[in-house]
Structure 1
């Protein structure tokens, strides 16, 4: 029997599966089952708790051992996230514990078949999400694990309910083709899920409630202030966000989310934008009594990053030739063909170059040798060769990357305003309890009264009860209602050992006390935080500069 003992890599997922199936598991019981020590099981449980923390789900304990207390909808959501994680890790053995791949393919085939027959249009990302949800529900249902009652009132709030019969028919067809009969609860729940996952004819822009549009406009304004950008006239951003957030709100009603397969890449590639969006979406969540996952924050970050890319200044390129016209017209035409359409190309004669203001020029392309210049120069032949074209594009890309790196560097060179908010507000703590730490951080601010301080603390606690402000790598960013702040301040606690923070552990606590009028300080500070998540030692060293 011992030869069939699972590896440590698989064992932790077996334990998670048993917990999801409702078992109460003691360390000793698990150690006996898998022929390992209790310390090995303890390590497995730590890993399982980290997985569960991603869905804000605690692991409970009683006299019979560890168990999960959450509802079936949450259990299925955890399974969905675990499958996504195992896909990324290419751990097919563990994935088989949670997903019947044959059933998945059958459900996908059934759903896409009905989708085509009914002339529906669903994005690939959303259809994969719906297929996975249906597959997990059927798997669990076959083993007697059914979702709890789903409130029909929630479904009635959806626009275009006239299409409910089509969706119901779609689901019944999928069920019949996979030998499963959805009960009324499951039909209502899955109908809601499909309506919340982007079927175009059910989600026309004009049907998005006005209250959603108002919330989106406020979010766009807040994030714009935080990023020092004005997005008020970006109708594409507003339209895309309104649709996404409307669908997100529908998903949140059922406590489900679309797993974001590129979340880690988003955090790495766009840390500044992610950090600012995270902060203001936290405020959005508090104002609307929501719990928004990191996956959704990542998707919304992409919308804002796309808007930032659209606002980037066009590159100005100066094409230099002997006389500014004529013999080099062919080269100029070829340059225009290979460079981006938003690149601004002007021409100049060599003789005029010395007197020309080059302040706004990003790149010079010249058919003639030029003296040493501060601006990047690419020397080409009048008849551009393949190698010339490659050199021009390489240099153009280099200038774009350098601009992005310069922008990030500038953000880390904090403005005096941010320095003043942090200066002398850094404390190192040894073994103090969390309430004491938070109270000392609050004391760094210049409050108008104890009542104001206590009211702000209440809003901080209310936010944490709704959604943890843990951001990653042991860093938490608690903050409350900015309307209750008169004087802005940022206070940082660095702990000698981690303390529990929701379902995670933190050893760095950054208490943000930022008034509405100081929203623009969020971007540079969140840039620090996101860099600190990647390199905690660097962050601690940086904070010592403000002691």
Structure 2
């Protein structure tokens, strides 16, 4: 980026219709002709790099700026984002942006571009070094040159994409112009308009739209790849191969568009890299149903895993989500891209995670439990970030499925009052379906209606027509809403219990006193190793289970709320299903943010004889009881007898 003095020189040149000499410029800005000469060379280089006009020179006449009005406006937009405007907390990102361009950066350059003193630049550099090292990038000081980054080209690009999101200006986010300005600022003037148009044309050709945030990342990764190619630093080879056929066709079309837009030939390794970028970019929506079906047919394993996941989640929640085509489609589109990133160690933070855990602990616990199935089937380690996103999709499906809660309204004050009550309920509780309005003389009609419960303003007892009754005011006050919502929850719980009674759950005892641990103090890794070692010694798991548990802990936090953690290992090492439990008198650190004092170590076996579903349902009943009822949780923590504890846990599963 140009200095303030160089920007003043540009303005002087822009205001001249004829040539102007170096001495004339020097007199206007009050610097020596030598300084102006050096500045003009840097200005010319900057304009050439950004393809903005031309700085011409003639002997004895001086210099003249040839630039169209459109090019001048673009130049002003680029210069508007000077480092002087960078907030203090983002200065380390500005340093990282310079370093990731894979060139030596000296302290003098940092001071000049960040408008900092030597001590301020050193502080920003140290913060940048720490941020880069956390992502596997080393910072080396080369004598006489400055600082250089050392990492693989792939790591450089993925880190740059993460940095772009953090460093970009809030101005214009959400618009194409805002994106173009931010890329130009980040990549030293690179024009990404061809990337935008090429991607849009490809989306239109294949009848889909990338999700907004994923699309922004994809656009930047493509831009950075082209920027690196121009800098003669393309990928020598790309280890990311064997992508699905649908993604291959989309990428081939995109590459053709890019080559035409930028008049370049994209090398094979860069094509493979772009194929990975497209595969890892989440598709939000297909406009063309045939294109979606083609995509699903070419990725049958992901689709089959999603369908199994939906069936198991439905049974655990007591809601039939299998008919929700939107859920299946959304999960498929999310997982196909998430798995690609996870396979290559690319972890995307989930800003909604804490809120999801806090507001939907039960659904989060179910999804975390069933993530064992997803991880084993797709051969990746799902982190809590992915579980959080999956929970959001399931919560949406639960909200839609809640419309299956059907009620009858009883009223003795005539049709008008009944209709008013119906309208109030449907407006305030849109997930309830009012299937009949009846009178107290029609118990048989209510019995045959198939409703889940009855709402009435009359005090007619606890049941009517064999259905539970909720008594409310004729005009539905807030207290009535809470009563109805509580009854809805009870209905869902009953459905779950009905499913439980119709399975072979009684045959499986998941808790054994030999694997119950009461500890005053413990250290996480040592505790897990002890629990896994005992399971292996008694023949419940095979060697390798302990390592799979610890690897999963490195990938994600298994704390699900209320200081409860549910670590689990790969199902392929499980011989017989069992759950070991540790109750800690004092909470221990479980990850960077969470602590735990109640640890369930899951060894779940998905074989055809015992079935994963009954095991999951039994465990979820225990987990749900502890999460929902703090009194029960506290009572369990007070137990000191192993056999009593195991018996109580098994009792909760019935």
Do the structures match in fold with TM over 0.5?
yes
Q: How does 1:451-490 map to 2 (within 5 A)?
A: 452=541, 454-461=543-550, 463=552, 467-469=555-557, 477-482=566-571, 484=574, 486=576, 488-490=578-580
Report if the CA contact (8 A) 2:183-2:192 is conserved.
no
Q: How does 1:13-162 map to 2 (within 5 A)?
A: 13-14=93-94, 17=97, 20=100, 34-35=119-120, 44=127, 48=131, 52=134, 57=135, 71-84=152-165, 100=185, 106=193, 109-111=196-198, 113-115=200-202, 118=205, 120-125=207-212, 126-138=214-226, 146-147=234-235, 149-151=237-239, 153-155=241-243, 157-159=244-246, 161=248
Partner of 2:474: 379
Confirm whether residue 275 of structure 1 aligns to residue 370 of structure 2: no
Change (3 A) 1:158 1:407: same
Change (3 A) 1:422 1:319: farther
Change (3 A) 1:311 1:258: same
Aligned partners of 2:182 and 2:560: how far apart in 1? 28
Confirm whether residue 436 of structure 1 aligns to residue 526 of structure 2: yes
Quote the offset at 1:316 in angstroms: 1.3
Aligned partners of 1:37 and 1:206: how far apart in 2? 52
Correspondent of 2:269 among 185, 191, 194: 185
- Please give the secondary structure, in 1, of the residue aligned with 2:411: strand
- Please give the secondary structure, in 1, of the residue aligned with 2:380: coil
Confirm whether residue 519 of structure 1 aligns to residue 616 of structure 2: yes
Confirm whether residue 314 of structure 1 aligns to residue 405 of structure 2: yes
Partner of 1:285: 375
Change (3 A) 1:447 1:83: same
Change (3 A) 1:135 1:404: farther
Report if the CA contact (8 A) 2:342-2:381 is conserved.
yes
Report if the CA contact (8 A) 1:485-1:513 is conserved.
no
Aligned partners of 2:236 and 2:269: how far apart in 1? 8
Change (3 A) 1:361 1:287: closer
Correspondent of 2:253 among 163, 166, 173: 166
Report Cα offsets for 1:198-249 as digits up to 9, x if no partner. Answer: 3846543553343333333333344445445555555554444344433444
Confirm whether residue 346 of structure 1 aligns to residue 436 of structure 2: yes
| Count of residues paired in the alignment | 496
Report if the CA contact (8 A) 1:489-1:514 is conserved.
yes
- Please give the secondary structure, in 1, of the residue aligned with 2:520: strand
Change (3 A) 1:456 1:206: closer
Aligned partners of 1:372 and 1:253: how far apart in 2? 59
Q: Which consecutive unaligned segments of at least 5 residues does structure 2 have?
A: 1-82, 174-178, 463-468, 495-505, 641-654
Change (3 A) 1:247 1:345: same
Change (3 A) 1:419 1:336: same
Change (3 A) 1:491 1:299: same
Confirm whether residue 246 of structure 1 aligns to residue 341 of structure 2: no
Confirm whether residue 218 of structure 1 aligns to residue 305 of structure 2: no
Q: Which consecutive unaligned segments of at least 5 residues does structure 1 have?
A: 381-390, 411-415
- Please give the secondary structure, in 1, of the residue aligned with 2:379: coil
Quote the offset at 1:447 in angstroms: 5.3
Aligned partners of 1:265 and 1:435: how far apart in 2? 28
Quote the offset at 1:457 in angstroms: 1.9
Correspondent of 1:425 among 502, 517, 532: 517
Quote the offset at 1:184 in angstroms: 3.8
Report if the CA contact (8 A) 1:447-1:487 is conserved.
no
- Please give the secondary structure, in 2, of the residue aligned with 1:378: coil
Report Cα offsets for 1:296-333 as digits up to 9, x if no partner. Answer: 434433333333334334241414133x55x6687588
Report Cα offsets for 1:366-419 as digits up to 9, x if no partner. Answer: 5xx879998342325xxxxxxxxxx58x67864565467879999xxxxx9899
TM (normalized to structure 2)?
0.56
Aligned partners of 2:199 and 2:533: how far apart in 1? 59
Change (3 A) 1:115 1:440: closer
Change (3 A) 1:539 1:69: farther
Change (3 A) 1:20 1:342: same
Aligned partners of 2:192 and 2:220: how far apart in 1? 10
Partner of 1:207: 297
Report Cα offsets for 1:463-502 as digits up to 9, x if no partner. Answer: 457x34555899864321346153623334759897797x
Greater RCO (Cα-Cα under 8 Å, separation 6 or more): 1
Aligned partners of 1:396 and 1:209: how far apart in 2? 48
Aligned partners of 2:308 and 2:168: how far apart in 1? 37
Report Cα offsets for 1:42-73 as digits up to 9, x if no partner. Answer: 8x589848x94xxxx45779999x99875333
Change (3 A) 1:169 1:522: farther
Report if the CA contact (8 A) 2:399-2:431 is conserved.
no
Partner of 1:386: none
Quote the offset at 1:6 in angstroms: 8.3
- Please give the secondary structure, in 2, of the residue aligned with 1:346: strand
Change (3 A) 1:522 1:168: farther
- Please give the secondary structure, in 1, of the residue aligned with 2:335: helix
Report if the CA contact (8 A) 1:12-1:47 is conserved.
no
Aligned partners of 1:469 and 1:439: how far apart in 2? 17
Report Cα offsets for 1:263-293 as digits up to 9, x if no partner. Answer: 5544443333233323433453245432445
- Please give the secondary structure, in 2, of the residue aligned with 1:122: strand
Aligned partners of 1:128 and 1:11: how far apart in 2? 22
Aligned partners of 1:114 and 1:5: how far apart in 2? 35
Change (3 A) 1:116 1:420: closer
Partner of 2:29: none
Aligned partners of 2:357 and 2:224: how far apart in 1? 28
Aligned partners of 2:84 and 2:337: how far apart in 1? 46
